């Protein structure tokens, strides 16, 4: 029997109660914490605390203070919120927003292990949110109305958090440059990650906000291709490649990338900053236009579904997952005790996942029944059509693998069937066995019909079928309010 009197109360830092360590790095350590108030009030929060051993290093102290000073001025849905900077027992600490999710590097790496990349609409959606965050930061003014001239200087996948709720957050303004910065960067000192810096940043030239646009271009390139744009055995090799402009076209790596999207990426990556986008908002507008023109709608809800599917194991384990690599500036390690019981929130997430899976299975059953009914109606329309459809289905069902996806449509011909931005065929029924398990986006188009876009989940080792009814454009217009 454990003696309850021996249980130590959680440590307190200022107004915050530390619950458990998340990660530790060379400069700081991060804790999951909460604020506690009257009448049971509490709020989840993250505490980033500077290590005692470097509290006397003025450069690190200035970076720490600079991060808090800048980020606290920024209030935007796509920027991780910083609440306050304070000191307790001689140690500086920052109270910041706690968000459960994974950083973009972790997402790309996990997909890469399965020879997959982010769905194109998801990658574009994330890039748009980054553009919104940076455009806000670039145009931000002080309390007196003076431009802050803020430049992030360290935009990279490690500094982009995607939450399980489908939110995109830009992190780490520790090396940002602005009129509020405590000190100027010394000549010859390069700040940022080598593979994501613009050429003028490497050359230590006078920079402006367009270096961040270059970094967005690199990040989007890697989301779309699953590979590093500038890779090398060491930083020197990487920097040389950036300066030389050794750029392999995205479509050479991933032929599924549309030419219109490739042009946007390439423009952001111009070595000459005068040929890049002037503002991140302009890049966001072009990316949004691409989604509209290609009829590939995407939303935070779809991103949430994607994240919860891909990281279902991590969510069920309910381990804290603030991307420590990006906010610590060093190698991280998960310090959560494996033997700790899952918190109540984790059990709630488990129940929610099981509920959603049950809903998906029920929906799949309903879709199969609807597809069979519609196929019977099609078959009854004419004897010739009936024979053709029956013959096609009987042949394909016999040879169909369990993991094959069957797509049927009404009308059957003169259509475009597109999955994740890749055209698959122009006739129905259509069979494909090239899809990886997980969420995908299906778009069906036909002349004089209203385009339909749906998100579906492809299950491994099971027969998957989808039916799509296209509504004539004239009827759809009459039905519109």
Residues designated as active site: 154
CA 213 to chain centre: 17
The answer to whether 220 and 127 have CB atoms below 8 angstroms apart is: yes
The answer to whether 417 and 449 have CB atoms below 8 angstroms apart is: no
Helix (H, G, I), strand (E, B) or coil at 59: helix
| Cβ-based neighbours of 365, under 8 Å, separated by 6 or more | none
Q: Which of 27, 107, 51, 8 is nearest to 329 (CA)?
A: 27
Residue 152: CB atoms within 10 A of its CB come to 29
For the record, the structure tokens of 5 come out as 């009197």
Give counts: helices (H), strands (E), the chain.
15, 16
Pairing of strands 91-96, 42-50: antiparallel
Run of H or E including 353: helix 344-381
Residue 241 CB burial class (10 angstroms; 0-12, 13-18, ≥19): middle
Residue 402: CB atoms within 10 A of its CB come to 11
DSSP 448: T
């Amino acid at each position: 029997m454990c003696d309850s009197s021996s249980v130590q109360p959680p440590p307190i830092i200022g107004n915050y109660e530390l619950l458990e360590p998340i990660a530790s790095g060379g400069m700081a350590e991060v804790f999951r914490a909460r604020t506690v108030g009257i009448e049971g009030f509490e709020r989840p929060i993250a505490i980033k605390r500077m290590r005692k051993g470097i509290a006397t290093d003025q450069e690190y102290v200035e970076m720490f203070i600079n991060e808090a000073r800048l980020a606290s001025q920024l209030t935007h849905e796509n920027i991780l919120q910083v609440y306050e900077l304070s000191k307790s027992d001689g140690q500086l600490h920052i109270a910041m927003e706690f968000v459960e999710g994974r950083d973009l590097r972790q997402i790309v790496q996990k997909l890469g292990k399965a020879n997959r990349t982010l769905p194109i609409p998801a990658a574009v959606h994330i890039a748009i949110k980054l553009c919104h965050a940076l455009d806000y930061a670039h145009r931000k003014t002080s309390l007196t109305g003076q431009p802050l001239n803020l430049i992030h200087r360290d935009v990279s996948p490690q500094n982009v958090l995607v939450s399980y709720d489908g939110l995109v957050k830009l992190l780490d303004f520790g090396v940002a440059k602005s009129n509020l910065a405590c000190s100027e960067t010394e000549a010859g000192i390069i700040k940022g990650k080598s593979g994501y810096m613009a050429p003028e940043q490497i050359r230590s030239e006078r920079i402006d906000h367009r270096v961040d646009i270059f970094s967005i271009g690199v990040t989007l390139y890697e989301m779309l291709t699953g590979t590093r744009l500038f890779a090398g055995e060491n930083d020197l090799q990487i920097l040389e490649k950036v300066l030389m402009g050794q750029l392999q076209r995205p479509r050479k790596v991933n032929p599924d990338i549309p030419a219109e999207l490739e042009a946007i990426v390439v423009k952001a990556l111009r070595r000459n900053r005068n040929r890049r986008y002037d503002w991140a908002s302009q890049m966001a507008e072009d990316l949004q236009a691409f989604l509209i023109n290609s009829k590939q709608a995407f939303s935070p809800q779809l991103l949430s579904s994607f994240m919860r599917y891909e990281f279902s194991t991590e969510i069920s384990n309910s381990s804290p997952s603030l991307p420590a690599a990006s906010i610590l500036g060093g190698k991280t390690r998960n310090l959560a005790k494996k033997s700790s019981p899952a918190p109540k929130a984790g059990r709630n997430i488990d129940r929610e996942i099981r509920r959603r899976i049950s809903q998906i299975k029920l929906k799949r059953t309903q879709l199969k029944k609807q597809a069979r009914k519609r196929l019977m109606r099609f078959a009854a329309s004419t004897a010739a059509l009936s024979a053709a459809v029956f013959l096609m289905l009987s042949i394909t069902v016999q040879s169909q693998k369990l993991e094959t996806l069957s797509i049927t449509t009404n009308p059957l011909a003169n259509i475009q069937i597109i999955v994740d931005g890749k055209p698959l065929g122009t006739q129905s029924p259509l069979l494909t066995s090239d899809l990886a398990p997980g969420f995908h986006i299906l778009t069906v188009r036909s002349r004089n019909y209203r385009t339909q876009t749906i998100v579906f989940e492809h299950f491994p080792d099971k027969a998957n079928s989808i039916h799509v009814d296209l509504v004539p454009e004239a009827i759809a217009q009459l039905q519109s309010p």
